[in-house]
Amino acid sequence: MPQNFPFPLTVGATVAAVYERPDASSKRADELPLGWGVTALSSEGGFYGIRTQYGYKGYVAAADLSDFGPAPRGAVRRTIARLFGDVVAYPNIKSPVASSLPMGAALWCLGGEDGFTRVSGERGLGGYVADTSLGGDAYSPVGDPDDFRSRVVKTASMFLGAPYRWGGKTGMGVDCSGLCFMAYYMNGCVICRDARMDPSFPVRSVPLDEARMGDLLYFPGHVAMYLGEGNFIHSSVRNGGVALNSLYPESGFYAPNLAESLIVSGTIF
């Protein structure tokens, strides 16, 4: 790979861990699905210091990254839109599974056949993905606010029951900001990867009584997605993963520790 920094690279692993230091035993800060682009800033001990497309920095094992190659002729970039999507050898539901990719994994799509799309990925990954597992370009416009709110809640709800993983962003394990980030990202909006309201991103504060479905709730070191009527979805250590809770004492899902520590709610609208 080139060493004249900075230069672009693409995630070639199914999921690449982003570490705080160039050491696989250091704290995991983030995860990147197959096909996501990064900028390499440095090289150290088998790791690249990288910056993600949303400004996050860390270290990724060089073995998990590939050179940024050209798009295949006539290909369209699409992403896995389910919690996971299988890449199979043939356009048939009984076909052998070559790989299972997490939500957000980006692939080049080369045409359809019998409800499947032929795909090409990094490092020669190829095969077919069911059309029902594919979404569009993750950076497509947000669109109608009501529709967007409905879509982000639907996406977040796909993660219900997923275990908690610090730095995680997939159905194999997700943290609080990873859940909210992926729900927004998959519907055309990039928000801060951390559990805070960052002025560099489009979320602005709004009073709780004005918060609507799909808006965000911020607590000390924690973020959740508001569902309306005091309810929210989030990934927490206490719940062991993604679950529903409420700000209201009369609810059976009441979470007093969070209800009493709410800092602010936020919206992109």
Q: Are 241 and 164 spatial neighbours (Cβ–Cβ below 8 Å)?
A: yes
Q: Are 242 and 232 spatial neighbours (Cβ–Cβ below 8 Å)?
A: no
Cβ-in-10-Å burial (0-12, 13-18, 19+) of 111 comes to exposed
Phi, psi of 211 (to 5 degrees): -70, 145
Q: What is the DSSP secondary structure assignment for residue 199, as one 8-state letter?
A: T
pTM: 0.95
Q: Dihedral (C-alpha) 34, 48, 38, 170: value to the nearest 10 degrees?
A: 40
- Beta partners for residue 173, in sequence order: 170
pLDDT in 10s for each residue of the chain, 269 residues: 657 899 999 999 999 999 999 999 999 999 999 999 999 999 999 999 999 999 999 999 999 999 877 788 889 999 999 999 999 999 999 999 999 999 999 999 998 889 999 999 888 889 999 999 999 754 556 789 999 999 999 999 999 999 999 999 999 999 999 999 999 999 999 999 999 999 999 999 999 999 999 999 999 999 999 999 999 999 999 999 999 999 999 999 999 999 999 999 999 99
pLDDT of residue 222: 98
**Residue 120's Cα: distance from chain center in Å?**
20
Domains, in order of start, for the chain: 7-67 (2.30.30.40), 76-133 (2.30.30.40), 145-267 (3.90.1720.10)
pLDDT of residue 142: 79
pLDDT of residue 68: 72
pLDDT of residue 137: 57
pLDDT of residue 39: 97
Residue type, 218: Y
Q: Are 107 and 116 spatial neighbours (Cβ–Cβ below 8 Å)?
A: no
pLDDT of residue 229: 96
Strands ordered across the beta sheet of 84-88: 76-79, 106-113, 116-120, 126-130, 84-88, 97-102
Phi, psi of 101 (to 5 degrees): -110, 145
Helix (H, G, I), strand (E, B), or coil: what is residue 162? Answer: coil
Q: Using CA atoms, how far apart are residues 214 and 233, in angstroms rounded to an integer? A: 10
Helix (H, G, I), strand (E, B), or coil: what is residue 122? Answer: helix
The DSSP code sequence of 66-118 is EE-PPPPTT-EEEEB-SSEEEEESSSSTTSPEEEEEETT-EEEEEEEETTEEE
